[in-house]
Amino acid sequence: MLIHVRAATPEDEEFIAALSLEAARASISPLREATPEQIEARVRARQEWGRSPDLESVTLIAEDEQGQRLGYIVLILNTHDELTGEPQGFVADIAVAPGVRRRGVGAALLRAAEDYVASQGLPYLALSVSSFNAPALRLYQRLGYREEWKKLVKRLRQ
């Protein structure tokens, strides 16, 4: 499959919103409890946050040779490492349509993101991923991403 990555346009917003919601539902940690309504509200809030004028962001769309949308990636360009202060790009969101997963779409999106972030003079591209998302972890490791932080969670009695 030939994959082309381009900048998102306003016409892509419905595709991004639907795929973002589907990806969020599939990414909930088994350590967490959330209703479908809560997930949908959080996805909407995250999308609004991504449009904040304080954030320098870009969204890229992967599509096939017929122009069928396959996935997207949202990059934040004005972030810094919290300890060193070094500038970096950050993958705020990435999702691939279910029917084309494990066919190179995620890798194509990440490579395009890396090229874009590097073209902006940023030395790093960071991302966060659920420890339970084994396919994504394998992809990121295969592309050279390395673990830098761990987040531990303990459910407390209520």
Give the Cβ contact number of residue 122 at 10 Å: 21
The residues spanned by each domain of the chain are 4-142
Best CA proximity match to 94, nearest among 147, 137, 132, 38: 137
Residues 102-107: what's their mean pLDDT? 97
pLDDT top residue among 73 and 43? 73
Q: Is the pLDDT of residue 50 over 70?
A: no
Residue 36 binned pLDDT confidence (cut-offs 50, 70, 90): confident
Residues 113-118: what's their mean pLDDT? 98
Q: Can you give the pTM of this predicted structure?
A: 0.89
Best CA proximity match to 74, nearest among 55, 54, 90: 90
**CATH number of the domain at 4-142, please?**
3.40.630.30
Q: Is the pLDDT of residue 15 over 80?
A: yes
- HSE-CB of 43 using CA atoms within 13 angstroms: 22
Q: How far apart are CA 51 and CA 61, in angstroms?
A: 17
